[in-house]
Amino acid sequence: MRETFLPFSQPSIIACDIATVINVLQSGWITTGAKCAEFEQAFADYAGCRGAVAVTSATAGMHLLLHAMDIGPGDEVVTPSMTWVSTVNQIVLRGATPVFADIDNHTLMVTAESIEPCLNARTRLIIPVHFAGASVDSEAICGLADEKGIPVVEDAAHAVGTFYKGVPVGGNGVTSIFSFHPIKNITTGEGGMICSDDRQLLDRIRSLRFHGLGVDSYDRTTQGRAPQAEVLEPGYKYNMTDFSAALGISQLERLDELIQKRTCLAERYGRGIAAIKGVIPLALPDYDIRHAWHLYVVRIDPEATGINRDDLMRALRQRNIGSGIHFKAVHRQKYYRDAPACTGADLPNTEWNTDRLCSLPLFPEMTETDVDDVITSVQHVINGASR
């Protein structure tokens, strides 16, 4: 057993990240300002989109997007149940109806084929979710959406640094929302980014992000706001701080290096896990992607292993190894079990996976020995259960 605890995830914060945040803290200007604008431009340049808006979280970004797209009562939004609850929460809070599409059993992502039966005259939006660092088949999904005249917004919370057919997610013309939560491939502490080629949409989001002001004319010298800063519509308070943005800039410069480290660890996992009967990694999509390896997810087949997912996670914790669940399906959450507003087709693949999936530790500061410890521990737990 390990002497020290191996967490499921841990942010990669090094000296240059700390220094850039300290510089902002010492500058006397820490709220939204030049660093936030610099981060937005740097991220847009990386993704290859026309513009980006930084916000306090991906959840805030989804809220702003649904508002800016005027999604509301009577509208239906198609999205997977195999996702974090925040997207579905925002749909419901807007008064719209979430419609759950099933996922591919081995990639855990929706497809054009699983989305199509969910569409009808009330469908106002499709929100596919990139999963664990892999990309959905955007071309097929957007092709279907274009045929039906329905917009697409991609939930790219797992896809910072993911490429689809040679293009970064966020740069293929589809509006996308990214997360910079501490477990993501880069972090701003908490934060998110909305990327789009639709400048009119971005302008409205930028206004809604900060109280609905038409012009954010804040004078640093007087610490006051100029007379022309008027509210055009009621908005929110979702603006990113400059010290968060500074951390994001520093992290973004290291993103490809961090993904390379994650990839090496994931490949080592793949070689070791392949030898354990009943532990099933996610499949790679059969189209061209660069996987960002945000998560390393396996499914635990209790019939083959003699142990269920929850017992395995407890046993790993006793061996000083953390793990996670991504995700308990939204339609299985208490509120949504009872909510009459939720609809969708049968979800057999979602149902099968939500009881079996487990995220193993994966972060850049892990060593090959750490990965081997996890693999060995999983094997030992399963061998003990099968006796």
Residue 112 half-sphere exposure toward CB, CA atoms < 13 A: 13
- Cβ contact 107:285 at 8 Å: yes
Preceding peptide of 5 cis, ω within 30°: no
- Residues 5 and 25: their CA atoms lie apart, in Å, by 32
Neighbour count for residue 144 (Cβ, 10 Å): 18
Residue entry with tokens 């997912």: 309
The beta strand positions in the chain, using DSSP E, are: 51-55, 76-80, 97-101, 123-126, 153-155, 163-164, 167-168, 175-179, 192-196, 218-219, 224-225, 279-281, 289-290, 296-300, 343-344, 357-360
DSSP state letters, 68-108: HTT--TT-EEEEESSS-HHHHHHHHHTT-EEEEEP--TTT-
Structural Rg of the chain based on CA atoms: 21
Task: Kindly name the residue from 184, 237, 261, 328 that is annotated as catalytic.
Answer: 184
- Residues 137 and 143: their CA atoms lie apart, in Å, by 10
- Examine the residue annotation and report whether 35 is marked as an active-site residue of this protein: no
Identify any residues that bridge with 6 across adjacent strands, giving them in sequence order: 321
Distances (CA, A) of 280 to 70, 273, 287, 323, 353: 41, 8, 20, 16, 11
What is the β-pairing status of strands 76-80 and 123-126?
A: parallel
Closest CA to 269 of 278, 255, 280: 280
136 is written with which tokens? 């959905």
Distances (CA, A) of 271 to 46, 139, 225, 274: 32, 31, 58, 6
SS3 call for 132? strand
Just list the catalytic residues: 184
